[in-house]
Amino acid sequence: MTADEVARHATVGMVVVRDGAVTWLNDAARALVEAHGGRWTGPGSPLGPLAELRPGSRRVAVRWPSPTGGTRWWGVTSSRLPSDAHLIEITDDTDRYEADGRDTGPPTAQWRLARLEAVAGMGSWVWNTRDDSMEWSEALQVLIGVEPGIPLDLDLYLRLVHPDDVARLEATLAASLQTLETFSVSHRMLLGDRTTERVVECFGEVFADAAGVPSRVMCTVRDVTEQHKVLQELAFLAENDPLTGIANRRRISGMLVDCAYDPLGGALLLIDIDNFKDINDLRGHAVGDRVIRRVARTIVARVGPDALLGRLGGDEFALVVPRCGASEAVALAEQLCAVVAVAPMVAEAATLRVTISVGVATIPGGQDAETSLAQADLALYEAKDAGRNRARLYSPDHYHQAVRRVSLLHRVGAALDADTMQLVAQPIVCLGTGGTTRHEVLIRLADGLEPALGPADFLPEAERTDLVLRLDRWVLERAIRALAAPHARATDLRLEVNVSARSLEDVELGSWILQRLKDDEVDPGRLGLEITETAAIGSLDDAVGLATRLTRAGCGFALDDFGAGFGSFSYLKNLPFTAVKIAGEFVSQLDTDPVDAALVTAVVGVARQLGMRTVAEQVDRPVLVDLLRDLGVDDGQGYHLGRPRPLGELLVQR
């Protein structure tokens, strides 16, 4: 038997390679490939990685993906033959490698690499540039959804790359082949179903022969779709509001700067949803969020593409309109007020009527963003103060008013710090006996500064800020302290204190009042609170909650100025108050206006049915006392019955 016959019948595959081509192979080598759907020439040939083996090296493991599916693992050695030919000897170790994955024996490096790729969500490919063949790892095929058995080559890979990213990937590969440097590139891929899109990150390395000619490229492919989505979301949130999708404060500030650099300037519209807190309180925050989104959509639909709407926070929006003059901006603001007022805002089964107020400011060249926002905010304040659902244009007078307002509030805060506020007490008199039943506590500013300020000067401004919460607690604390004084206890002094609408929102106020009464050992029945009808109806749930808690403890709770807010008697029915104070405008002309007499009569009748006392305000003439007594009013208060005097005088025995 000749050597050639022996080689053909050997179980070890033998292949002779010269200049990258097979010049001879035995039957065992042919069977290793053809038995699994492959050929020694053409796409999918194992020749590429085999030809790269260095002659005389130790036995190495070579992975060959079978065209019919699965992976074959070969043990390969390479020997040098005359005339620069190589003899490659191959044994099929696939069964042993598969056993490594099942048994407890030590796994091979190839098996560990395959498992690492699968666990890490990675894959790899090797491109043999000499014959343009390509090898993909099984993990890569799974990663990009290529079925086993499909011929794998660079053309197929590029067909799976998103069309918009192909040119960039090809340019990256070409540059790396030219420079022999590593490369990194991210691109989108359409998976085997041609619809699912993923984002992958590729890191590649070019290998060259001794002459510096690229022979193959090896690349790892990692699925970074989720990381890419997170980065996209972060980039979106950096410039946009997450609730509405419109611009955020950062983009608005940038747009304001752009307008300031434009010789034609622009306009800023600061937009606020009217009474938005009531929507949140009565309907819930989920409904409030829907209203914010609906208002945003309504505004966007009414402005041009050059304008930018952003949300600054809460229910406040900013609209920047480039190259827009004052009159044009005011007209746009009024249009927005009108369109929002008629836009349906559906909450559950009910339709809400939502309105907005708008402050308008022009953006002159060179003005910083914060100044524009401050000016628009002052104009918005004026729009709110004028009754809401309207627009106002900023003028320098608004700034002067704001300065006065800030100065006034600073003066009141300083008076609280220096204890230069003063309390006076006005008697509330029983019309039947003429005796004083209790006193209403009133606050005065006694800091000695000019101009002198009365309660009507500073209380409305304080009620627009959190300063009023501090004022209310200051008055309540000193009223309770006065009730604890020895002479006050001996004379059974009873005091009533006004609280603001803002204090109704203070969820801790009721507990704080009852604790102070307990600490000073004051009978709760000697303290009463008053809240105006308008404030009570505006925060109905809060008013009911506070009144219920305090009246159950024994405190009094009066509804002040009833009738002035045109409230319904149905509100009176549902408020757990102990007294009703009839607004002075219905009392002062009682002797000349029969309509006022009818109203007072109605209030007295309803109050009696509800077990409430009635108090008439502004009783300034003797004739009113007799008329009110005849109509059944229990108590009266006014200059005819007693003027306010310092609270301290009631605490001293005479």
Q: Domains plus CATH for the chain? A: 1-97 (3.30.450.20), 121-239 (3.30.450.20), 245-394 (3.30.70.270), 414-651 (3.20.20.450)
Q: Which run of H or E residues covers position 648?
A: none
Cβ count near 611 (within 10 Å): 8
Model pTM score = 0.48
Sorted by sequence, the CB contacts under 8 Å of residue 567 that are 6+ apart come out as: 533, 534, 537
Q: Where are the beta strands (DSSP E) in 296-336?
A: 308-313, 316-322
Q: What is the DSSP letter of 240?
A: B
pLDDT score at 307:
93
pLDDT score at 339:
92
pLDDT score at 396:
73
Alpha-carbon gap, residue 76 to 61, rounded angstroms? 6
Partners of 17 in beta bridges: 22, 86
**Residue corresponding to tokens 């307002």:** 405
Alpha-carbon gap, residue 329 to 308, rounded angstroms? 13
Tokens of 288: 């409030």
CB 543 within 8 A of CB 531: yes
Tokens of 248: 């955020």
Residues of the chain predicted below pLDDT 50: 102-105, 566
Comparing C-alpha atoms, which of 352, 647, 338 is closest to residue 495? 647
Comparing C-alpha atoms, which of 638, 537, 536 is closest to residue 587? 638
CB 425 within 8 A of CB 645: yes
Alpha-carbon gap, residue 382 to 398, rounded angstroms? 8
CB 189 within 8 A of CB 198: yes
Q: Three-state DSSP class for 188?
A: strand
pLDDT score at 151:
65
Query: Is cis: bond before 451, omega within 30 of 0?
Result: yes
Q: Where are the beta strands (DSSP E) in 415-536?
A: 421-430, 436-445, 495-498, 527-532
Tokens of 122: 């990675």
Buried/exposed code over 427-441 (b: 16+ C-beta within 10 A; e: otherwise): bbbbbeeeebebbbb
3-state secondary structure 114-156: HHHHHHHCEEEEEEECCCCEEEECHHHHHHCCCCCCCCCCHHH
pLDDT score at 102:
44
To the nearest 5 percent, what fractions of the chain are helix, strand and coil?
A: 45, 25, 30
pLDDT score at 492:
94
- Phi and psi at 86, nearest 5°, equal -120, 140
- Phi and psi at 266, nearest 5°, equal 175, -165
Comparing C-alpha atoms, which of 551, 554, 572, 555 is closest to residue 563? 572
CB 310 within 8 A of CB 246: yes
pLDDT score at 544:
86
Alpha-carbon gap, residue 65 to 45, rounded angstroms? 10
